[in-house]
Amino acid sequence: MVDLWGMGGGLIEYRSALFASRGFASLSLAYIGHKDIPGPLNTINVGDAYFQTAFQFLQDHPQVCGDRLGVIGLSFGAYLALRIATQIGVNPRCVIGVNGPIGSINKLSDSDGKTESFEGDQKHWSYDEQGYVSFREVSTPNNIPPENKAKVENLCCPLLYIVGEDDLSCAAIENADEIEKKLKDAGRSHLFTRLSYLGAGHLIEPPYTPNARASMWTTRPKKLITLWGGHLAPHAAAQEDAWKRTLEFMERHLRG
Task: Write out the catalytic residue numbers.
Answer: 75, 167, 202
Tell me how far apart the alpha carbons of residues 20 and 27 are, in angstroms, rounded to a whole number.
Answer: 9
Paired with 96 in beta bridges are: 72, 160
**Residue 240: in which H helix or E strand, if any?**
helix 232-250
Tell me how far apart the alpha carbons of residues 227 and 182 are, in angstroms, rounded to a whole number.
Answer: 29
Which residues, other chains included, contact 108 with Cβ-Cβ below 8 Å and sequence gap of 6+?
Answer: 44, 47, 83, 115, 148
**Residue 94: in which H helix or E strand, if any?**
strand 94-98
CA atoms within 13 A on the CB side of 173: 11
Please choose, from the candidates 116, 178, 102, 186, the residue with its C-alpha nearest in 3D space to the C-alpha of residue 144: 102
176 neighbors 134 (Cβ within 8 angstroms):
no
125 neighbors 168 (Cβ within 8 angstroms):
no
